[in-house]
Amino acid sequence: MKKIILYLIMATSILGAQLMDGHYAAQEAEYYWDGYAAITSIRVENGEIVEVVADMVHRKGNLVSEDKKYNDEMLAETGTDFRKFSVEVPQNFMDSLKERDAVAGASMENIDFQLPYIDTVAGATSSSKKFKKMMKFLVKKAESGKTGKHKIKL
C-alpha cells in the first residue's frame, strides 16, 4: 500500500494537475447480474492523490474483494481474483503514468490511460477498462473540486 501511495504522489507531481483536496468516488450506474457494480475512488490531500481504491460493491454494500466465495471461484476460473485486482490495477495505473513522466506538457487530458501491464491480471479486462474510465472521470472531478460519490455510466 505504501508503494501505491508513493506512485500516486509521484504521478500527481508529474502531471502537474491542480487537484482540489477531498474524497472523490465513482460507482458504475448499473449493477451486474450478480449484484455487483464497479467502484473507484481517490483521496486528495494538499493537491496530491494519496489513496486510490478499485473494487466492486454489492447492492447490500459488501465489497467483492472481501467475498471469499466469489474470489475463490474467480481464482479457480481465471487464475486471479479481485483481492489481487484491487491492489495491482491501481499500481499498474500509476506505473503507466510514471512511464510518461518525460512527456512535455503532460496532463491528465493528454495521458491515454493505457495500462500496459494489466494483461498480467488475467480475466480482468472488462474491469480494467472500467477502472481507466473511472480514473479519468475522478481526476476531472478532483480538478473541479466536485467531491463526493458520483454515478457513472460505463
Q: What is the pLDDT of residue 1?
A: 46
Of the ranges 4-13, 23-32, 67-76, 113-122, which is most confident?
23-32
Output phi, psi for 119, to 5 deg.
Answer: -65, -15
Q: What is the reported pLDDT for 26?
A: 97
Per-residue DSSP letter, 103:
S
Cβ neighbours for 68, distance < 8 A, ≥ 6 positions apart: none
> What is the value of pTM for the model shown?
0.74
Distance of CA 20 to CAs 36, 67, 138, 145, 147, Å? 29, 33, 11, 5, 9
pLDDT at 28 over 90: yes
For 127-149, how does the pLDDT look when each residue is reduced to its tens digit (9 = 90+)? 778 888 898 899 899 999 999 99
- Tell me yes or no: is domain 2-147 CATH 3.20.20.100: no
Q: Copy the grid coordinates of residue 122.
A: 488475467
pLDDT digits (tens, 9 = 90+) for 70-127: 999 988 888 788 888 888 877 776 666 566 555 555 555 554 554 444 444 556 677 7
Distance from chain centroid for Cα 97: 13
